[in-house]
């Protein structure tokens, strides 16, 4: 991880934790993390929508410097979109980071690059930071098409966005075969793909934006493998699913530098 890019460790809770459980885990996490941790890393948590207001209240009233995140949003401001949540609604809850284009949204809910690009723009417009997820399937990896896939997801996801804004974003490289499977990319593979993703950002937005943008690795990150992944030159943090549901495991990942 380059010294100038502060790592971001993000916990994606997916469809887990009701708002009572959410409050409990946030409080436990707050006992385990200290100033040194927050100084070394930015930490975000991404609860389900129904928990956001409760978690916001705990973070703000107890002055816990964990940043609030959402797992996705719609790209429109408002309207007849039953079941959806707008970026403006998230901004009002002091949400700082929004995951966009997670592979589960792409695969299970049919989100495609064009829609994902509209969401990235909508999140930026509301002064929040998109975490744009990209990653290849196992079939694409075996057919030597992983880089092609990442390149097209980055080019399409960033279409029409200014260099300055791109430099403030986060990209999460998440090989789909490693998400929730217990299989992790080797540190060397993860580094190679994150460096490749950075190169794609440079092609789209120039060297300065590529050097500044933070690129997370995601895919079965656990306390036991966090340090070897997160100390790679082009890996600037982690998007953590399963292991973020346990405060102890998540805080050990945040403290990876001490392992
Ligand atoms: C994720 O949800 O983005 C993820 C990487 O999950 P897991 O850590 O469980 O593989």
CA distance 91 to 94: 5
Helices 187-205/223-230 angle, 10° precision: 50
Residues spanned by the domain of 158: 8-258
CA distance 111 to 16: 21
The enclosing H or E element of 89 equals helix 87-92
- Extract the tokens encoding 210: 């590529």
Per-residue model confidence (pLDDT) at position 1:
55
Query: pLDDT confidence of 167, banded at 50, 70, 90?
Result: very high
| Residue 3 in domain | no
Query: pLDDT confidence of 2, banded at 50, 70, 90?
Result: low
CA distance 250 to 209: 29
pLDDT tens digits, 179-234: 989 888 999 999 999 999 999 999 999 999 999 999 999 999 999 999 999 999 99
**Chain-wide mean pLDDT for the chain?**
97
For residue 150, give the nearest of 129, 186, 128, 175 by alpha carbon. Answer: 175
Contact yes or no for 204/161 (Cβ under 8 A): no
For residue 20, give the nearest of 48, 44, 66, 51 by alpha carbon. Answer: 51
Candidate of 134, 219, 226, 250 to mutate for ligand 1, largest count of ligand atoms within 8 Å of Cβ:
219
Per-residue model confidence (pLDDT) at position 4:
86
Candidate of 216, 218, 222, 230 to mutate for ligand 1, largest count of ligand atoms within 8 Å of Cβ:
218
| Residue 31 in domain | yes
| Residue 2 in domain | no
pTM: 0.97
| Residue 21 in domain | yes
Q: Is 133 helix (H, G, I), strand (E, B) or coil?
A: strand
pLDDT tens digits, 82-110: 999 999 999 999 999 999 999 999 999 99
| Residue 1 in domain | no
Does residue 46 surpass a pLDDT of 60?
A: yes
In the set 102, 104, 111, 140, the catalytic residue is 102
Query: pLDDT confidence of 40, banded at 50, 70, 90?
Result: very high
Per-residue model confidence (pLDDT) at position 166:
98
Q: How many structural domains are present in the chain?
A: 1
**CATH number of the domain where residue 46 is located:** 3.20.20.70
Residue 244 CB-half CA count within 13 A:
26
Does residue 139 surpass a pLDDT of 70?
A: yes
- Extract the tokens encoding 1: 């991880």
Q: Any bridge partners for residue 214, and if so which?
A: 170
With pLDDT > 70 as the criterion, what percentage of the chain qualifies? 99
CA–centroid distance for 234 within its chain = 15
Q: Is 224 helix (H, G, I), strand (E, B) or coil?
A: helix
């Amino acid at each position: 991880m380059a010294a100038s890019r502060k790592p971001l460790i993000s916990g994606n809770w997916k469809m887990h934790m009701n708002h009572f459980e959410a409050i409990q885990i946030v409080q436990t996490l707050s006992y385990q993390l200290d100033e040194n941790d927050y100084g070394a890393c930015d930490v975000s948590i991404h609860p389900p929508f129904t928990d956001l207001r409760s978690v916001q209240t705990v973070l703000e009233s107890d002055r816990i410097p964990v940043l609030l995140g959402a797992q996705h949003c719609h790209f429109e401001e408002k309207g007849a979109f039953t079941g959806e949540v707008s970026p403006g609604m998230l901004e009002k809850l002091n949400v700082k980071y929004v995951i966009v284009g997670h592979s589960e949204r792409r695969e299970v809910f049919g989100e495609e690059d064009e829609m994902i690009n509209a969401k990235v723009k909508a999140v930026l417009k509301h002064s929040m930071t998109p975490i744009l997820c990209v990653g290849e399937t196992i079939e694409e990896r075996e057919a030597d098409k992983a880089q092609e896939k990442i390149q097209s997801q980055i080019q399409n996801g960033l279409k029409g966005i200014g260099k300055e804004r791109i430099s403030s974003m986060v990209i999460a490289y998440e090989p789909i075969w490693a998400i929730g499977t217990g299989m992790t990319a080797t540190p060397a593979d993860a580094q190679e793909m994150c460096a490749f993703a950075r190169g794609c950002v440079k092609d789209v937005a120039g060297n300065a934006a590529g050097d500044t943008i933070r690129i997370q690795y995601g895919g079965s990150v656990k306390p036991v493998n966090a340090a070897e992944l997160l100390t790679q030159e082009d890996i600037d943090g982690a998007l953590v699913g399963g292991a973020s549901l346990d405060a102890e495991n998540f805080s050990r990942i945040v403290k990876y530098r001490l392992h």
